[in-house]
């Protein structure tokens, strides 16, 4: 019986923040009772329960965090896309430089059935060097 009363009292203490006030009284048999409402006869006493394990903090503005996160994600996507494009342009410029340099060095201006003019290969090589400078 003692354990039951202790358990009841502990459960009342743990829900005090939600339940509000706790009142206690002893009946004619000596049994202690606990309730969230006082007796009409006025024999009950209010139990002072300290509030523990409560957090008091300002609510975080969810909307502004979401907007900020969306802006960060958008800017990350832009940066990732820009770096991917730059990386692709750099790789393309390097291939172009390698191709034009090898064609000019070999003196053979035919590739896969296509004949290239020497002056066009020289222009392509200059253009590739400029692109490498710009994108790499």
pLDDT of 1 above 70: no
The per-residue pLDDT of the chain, averaged, comes to 78
Q: What is the pLDDT of residue 61?
A: 65
What are the domain boundaries of the chain? Answer: 2-47, 88-136
**Helix, strand or coil, per DSSP, at residue 123:** helix
pLDDT in tens, 22-49: 888 888 898 888 888 887 777 788 887 7
Cα 66 → chain centroid: 9
Full-model pTM? 0.40
Per-residue pLDDT band for 101 (boundaries 50, 70, 90) equals: very high
């Amino acid at each position: 019986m003692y354990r039951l009363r202790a358990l009841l009292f502990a459960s009342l203490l743990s829900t005090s923040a939600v339940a509000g006030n706790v009142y206690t009284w002893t009946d004619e048999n000596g049994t202690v009772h606990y309730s969230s409402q006082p007796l009409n006869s006025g024999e009950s006493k209010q139990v002072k329960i300290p509030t523990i394990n409560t957090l008091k903090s300002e609510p975080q503005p969810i909307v502004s965090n979401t907007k900020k996160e969306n802006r960060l994600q958008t800017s990350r996507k832009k940066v990732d896309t820009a770096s991917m494009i730059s990386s692709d342009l750099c790789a393309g410029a390097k291939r172009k430089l390698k191709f034009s340099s090898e064609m000019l060095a070999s003196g053979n201006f035919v590739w896969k059935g296509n004949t290239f003019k020497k002056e066009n290969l020289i222009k392509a090589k200059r253009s590739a060097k400029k692109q490498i400078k710009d994108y790499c």
